[in-house]
A and B are shown apart, each in its own frame.
Chain A
Amino acid sequence: MDEKLEEIEKQYNEVPIPKELDFVVENALEQGKKKRKNRAPLWLLGSAAAAMLFTASLNVSPAMAQTLSEIPVVGSIVKVLTWTEYEVKEDTYDADIKVPSIENLENKDLANTLNEKYRSEGKALYDDFISEVDYVKENGGGHVGIDSGYEIKTDTDQILSIGRYTANTVGSSSTVMQYDTIDKQNEILITLPMLFKDDSYIKTISENIIEQMREQAASDPDKTYWVKGGGHPDEEVIDEFTTIKANQQFYISDKGKLVISFDKYEVAQGYMGIVEFEIPTDVLKNDLVSSKYIH
């Protein structure tokens, strides 16, 4: 090559490479992988659609839930076991992921749908953790931790509410909680919309929660929520909570009360953690389909 050209090439190559390049590249690869995963291959879409159809048919029809409730069932002993556990313990890397499994449901479709979900999500958490650790190791080490498991919120003759939590501790920690509530007698998955006659429950519950937030903030200076009058010093900057989602996380307590749950950062600052609101049944009674589950 010509000397001049060589000199120009040298200059081209001399542009300093910023330290962040490694991070940016790895991050982009990671994000890219996730996006690819989300675009599920065709064969998977089929089974996902089938599963959705199944839950959807339960969701849309309170009538269906009621019909089911009239079929007598031989009392099955539904229980929750730890199906598998992923454990990693190294100096600054630790993972503890417990994957639950619901056993003894006669309704195999329901059992499979839930257990498949638990297993694939548990596996995904573990895989993410491993790739995170690999990345951190390559870049000089650091702390990576994940703690995921489940707790039985309610286990009565009628109701099983299982909550699965995932606490991620990279940089700042985040915690997510997901609930599934099953009618053990009729072996159906209870969703929030199906408990109510129509969509008006969203408004009823949201208003009650906002009221509770204000009361708590007024009586306890340590509590703040992202609502007007929620004790936040600068109300202009908050991303105000206005409404729950139609399928907001919830469970049914052993007293038959509806409890609405919000993840860390969803309605309040991080120090508040996961927050729960028990909705008084009185408030809900006009919207409820029946007092079977919630009373």
Chain B
Amino acid sequence: MKTRNAFQHEETFVQFIREQKERFYLLAYNYTKNEQDALDVVQDSIQKAMLSLDRLENVEYMKSWFYKIVVRTSIDFLRKHKRLHVTDDDTLQYLTPAQEDVYEDVDLEHALDELPQMYREVVILHYFEDLKLADVANILNIKLSTAKTRLYKALKLLKIQLQDVKGETTHG
């Protein structure tokens, strides 16, 4: 029975990957900022996922489960190649003590790129990849409240009218 589940998962997984591959590439690219590296991350993520596919209990979790793998693989990759653009949370907190508006009024063209990774990833996953905030929190391994705070701050940094998006941040 267990093997049969695994096989069904495999078919679903293959189909899911084929349909969504461009989304995963975009996400990986957003971390690595390099075509070849992003391709490597996609490749590694797929292989890792297939090896642990049997441990996925429910096909419904496949989307957030796989996004988590892509995010982790991307971050691992950056770490290994020491090209992590963004510092970890502690350092960031230290560098930006309690001043939420310290960033420049970023021009729209590079707005997303200039957003630190910890904020950027929340925006991408929640808005562009349509994941619920609870799933985003799970993918990034942070508390739901942290995810909310980061999203809130990201929007503030992007100077996006909070009223407009309030409904969207709470529905998830």
Contact = CB atoms under 8 A, between A and B. Distances in A.
Interface of A: 1-2, 4-5, 7-9, 11-13, 15, 17-18, 20-22, 24-25, 27-29, 31-33, 35-36, 39, 41
A41 B3 contact: yes
Nearest to A16: B35
Contacts, number: 91
A11 B124 CA distance: 12
B150 to A, nearest CB: 15
A32 B43 CA distance: 10
Contacts of B18: 25, 29
> Chain B interface: which size bin?
35 or more
Contacts of B160: 2, 4-5
B158 A8 contact: yes
A29 B14 contact: yes
Contacts of B39: 18, 20-21, 24
A25 B38 CA distance: 12
A36 to B, nearest CB: 6
A41 B3 CA distance: 7
Nearest to B108: A7
Contacts of B158: 4-5, 8
A41 B42 CA distance: 27
Contacts of A32: 46-47, 49-51
Given A13-B128, A25-B18, A33 B25 contact: no
B46 A28 contact: yes
19 contacts: A1-B164, A2-B164, A4-B160, A5-B160, A8-B108, A8-B112, A11-B109, A12-B124, A15-B30, A21-B39, A21-B42, A27-B43, A28-B46, A29-B46, A32-B46, A32-B47, A35-B47, A36-B53, A39-B51
Contacts of A13: 26, 128
A35 B159 contact: no
Contacts of B10: 33, 36
